[in-house]
Chains A and B, each alone.
Chain A
Amino acid sequence: MTGPIAVGPGAYLDSASSEPLHPAARDVLLAAVDQGYADPRRLHRDARSARLLLDNAREATAESLGTRPDEVTFTASGTHATHSGLLGLLEGRRRVSRRLLYSAVEHSAVLHAAAWDGDRGGSAEAVPVTPTARVDLDALERLLAAGSTAAVALQSANHEVATLQPVAEAAELAAAHDTPLFVDACASAGRVPLPAGWSVAAASAHKWGGPAGVGLLLVRKGARWRPPFPVDDRADPRATGFENVPAALAAAAALQAVVAERQEVGRRQHALVDHVRARVAAEVPDVDVVGDPVDRLPHLVTFSFLYVDGEALVTELDRRGHAVASGSACTASTLAPSHVLEAMGALTHGNVRVSLGRDTTAAQVDALLDDLPGVVADVRSRAGIR
C-alpha cells in the first residue's frame, strides 16, 4: 500500500461538516464586500448602505425560514448562536427553575453550554434516545413531570446520523409544563423546513452553503430570552459585536437558493443515500448502518465497520480521493468516542460519515462504494482479524 495512488473520480463527501459556498452566495458576497463595510448603526450614507444590506439579509433569511425579520440575529458562528440562544433562554427562566433537559444526542455545543451552566448552579439531565437516535418522548414526559424545568433542548435533526427529531411533539409536551424549547437547527436549516414549537433556535450558514462565520440566533417574539454573556453599548443585546454584513447577506442568498432548490436536490440526495445504505449493508460484512433509514435528513448517512480503525479508514479513503468524516474516538480531538453513537448503542469504532453536496453525482457515490469493500478488508487484514 505504498507509492502514489492516482486520485480517481472521488469527491468531497463531507457537506455535513461544511457545504462548499453556493454559487448564488459567491456573487452576492463579492458585490457586498464593496458596499457593506460601514457600521450599520451610524447615521451617514455609507452606514445606510450597510444597514440596507443587513436588513435585506435579515428579511431574506426570515422569509426562507418562515420567521419574522425581528426574530433573526446574525452571530459569529452556529456555536455562538447555540451557546447564546440556549443560555439566554435559561437566563430568562432562572427564577422559575435552573434545570435543563437535553436529548442525549445533542451537538457538543449544547453539552458544553449545559456544563457551563452547571458550573454556575444549574443542573442538566440527558433524555435518552432510541437505537435510531430519536429522542424518547415518554422519557421526556416523565422528566418534565418529575420537576420544574427551565428549558428543553432538542435538535431538529442529528448532525452525525441524520435522524429527524419529533420537535413539534416535544414542544407540545414541554408547553404542557410551561417550559420553552431550544432547537439546534444547525444540521437541517435550509435543507428541510424549520420545525414548529421553538422559543429559541440556532443555525449555521456554512452548513447550507453560506460562508463560515455566520450563525443565526432566532428568538421567537415574546420569548423570555436574556443576554447570558456581557454585552456592549450597541443597539441589540442579541448581536454583540459588529456583524459581518457582506457574509450575512451572502448567507441569506445561499439560504434562499437552497430553499428554492431543496425539493429537487433533497429528493435526489435521499435516493442516493438509500443507495449507499443498501450497497454498504450488502457488500461489506459486519457493518452497522445507523440512524433512521426513512425519517432523516436527505444528504447524510453514517456507518461503522467492526474491527476497523476509523482514522486508518478515513486516511485510506482520502488517498483514493474520497473526503469523508468519522466519529470514531481515534479521529476526535478528545479521543472519546462519539457520544451520539454511544447513546444509540451503535458501534463507535470504524465509523464513517458520508454527506452529499448539492451537486454530488451518482458516479461519485458509486466510486466510493466501489472502493469501500476492498479498503475495509485491507484495514481489517492489517489489524490481524482472523
Chain B
Amino acid sequence: MSSENDAEQDPGQAPALELDCRGQRCPLPIIRLANAIGDVAVGEVLAVMATDVAARADVPAWCRMRGHDYLGEAIAGDGVPAYRVRRRH
C-alpha cells in the first residue's frame, strides 16, 4: 500500500464504482457489469465483488470480448474476490 503509487498505474487505481454481486450466480454478475460499465468514465475502474467462481473466468472473458481492460483480482475485506475492470470506450 505504498503512497508512491502513480494513480494512473494499475493495479493501484481505486475503483470509481463497486458492484456487490455476492451470492449471485453467473451470468448475473456479468450482466450487472455490462449494465454498469456506462456509469463510470472512460479510464475509470469498476470492481465486481463476486462469490460465484465462474466470475473468475467470465470477467476477463467479458473484457476481451467487449474491449475493456481486465486489471486482475483484488480481495475485498471479507475475503471475497474483487475483479477489476477499466473502461476503455
Distance of A286 Cα from B63 Cα, bound (Å): 12
Q: Which of A271-310 contact B (CB under 8 A)?
A: 286, 288, 304, 306-309
B57 and A345 within 8 A (CB):
yes
Chain B hits for A342, CB < 8 A: 56-57
B35 and A385 within 8 A (CB):
yes
Q: How far is the CB of B45 from chain A (nearest CB, A)?
A: 21
Distance of A108 Cα from B30 Cα, bound (Å): 26
Distance of A346 Cα from B62 Cα, bound (Å): 9
Distance of A173 Cα from B76 Cα, bound (Å): 43
Q: Which of A303-360 contact B (CB under 8 A)?
A: 304, 306-309, 328-330, 336-337, 341-342, 345-350
Size of the chain A interface, CB-CB below 8 angstroms = 24
B27 and A306 within 8 A (CB):
yes
Chain A minimum-CB-distance residue to B25: A330
Chain A hits for B34, CB < 8 A: 306-307, 385-386
Q: How far is the CB of A341 from chain B (nearest CB, A)?
A: 7
Q: How far is the CB of B59 from chain A (nearest CB, A)?
A: 10
The dominant DSSP class at the B interface is helix
Chain A minimum-CB-distance residue to B26: A349
A346 and B31 within 8 A (CB):
no
Distance of A347 Cα from B58 Cα, bound (Å): 5
- Contact A347 to B62, CB < 8 A, known contacts A306-B34, A329-B25, A329-B26: yes
Q: Does chain B have a CB within 8 A of A147?
A: no
Chain B minimum-CB-distance residue to A329: B54
Distance of A181 Cα from B62 Cα, bound (Å): 36
Chain B hits for A345, CB < 8 A: 57, 60-61, 64
Chain B hits for A347, CB < 8 A: 57-58, 61-62, 65
Q: Does chain B have a CB within 8 A of A384?
A: yes
A337 and B26 within 8 A (CB):
yes
Chain A hits for B64, CB < 8 A: 345
Q: Which of B15-48 contact A (CB under 8 A)?
A: 25-28, 30-31, 34-35
Distance of A337 Cα from B57 Cα, bound (Å): 9
Size of the chain B interface, CB-CB below 8 angstroms = 20
Q: Which of B45-79 contact A (CB under 8 A)?
A: 52-54, 56-58, 60-62, 64-66
Chain A minimum-CB-distance residue to B27: A349
Distance of A37 Cα from B52 Cα, bound (Å): 51
Q: How far is the CB of B31 from chain A (nearest CB, A)?
A: 5
Chain A hits for B61, CB < 8 A: 288, 304, 345-348
Q: How far is the CB of B22 from chain A (nearest CB, A)?
A: 16
Q: Does chain B have a CB within 8 A of A383?
A: yes
Q: Produce 1/0 per residue, A173-193, CB < 8 A to B.
A: 000000000000000000000
Distance of A55 Cα from B70 Cα, bound (Å): 58
Chain B hits for A336, CB < 8 A: 53-54
Q: How far is the CB of A378 from chain B (nearest CB, A)?
A: 15
Chain A hits for B35, CB < 8 A: 384-386
Chain B hits for A383, CB < 8 A: 27-28, 31
Chain B hits for A309, CB < 8 A: 27
Chain A hits for B60, CB < 8 A: 345
- Contact A349 to B65, CB < 8 A, known contacts A383-B27, A385-B34, A386-B35: no
Distance of A386 Cα from B65 Cα, bound (Å): 17
Distance of A347 Cα from B27 Cα, bound (Å): 10
Interface hub of B27, B58, B66 (most chain A Cβ within 10 A): B27
Distance of A307 Cα from B31 Cα, bound (Å): 6
- Contact A348 to B57, CB < 8 A, known contacts A286-B65, A306-B65, A329-B25: yes
Chain B minimum-CB-distance residue to A350: B27
Q: How far is the CB of B35 from chain A (nearest CB, A)?
A: 5
Q: How far is the CB of B37 from chain A (nearest CB, A)?
A: 10
Can you list 25 A-B contacts with CB-CB less than 8 angstroms, sorted by A residue number?
A286-B66, A288-B65, A304-B61, A306-B34, A306-B65, A329-B25, A329-B26, A329-B53, A336-B53, A337-B26, A337-B57, A342-B56, A345-B61, A345-B64, A346-B57, A347-B61, A348-B26, A348-B58, A348-B61, A349-B26, A349-B54, A350-B27, A383-B28, A385-B34, A386-B35
Which residues does B use to contact A, with CB under 8 Å? Answer: 25-28, 30-31, 34-35, 52-54, 56-58, 60-62, 64-66
Report, nearest first, the 7 A-B pairs whose CB atoms are least far apart: A347-B61, A349-B27, A337-B54, A342-B57, A349-B26, A329-B54, A348-B57
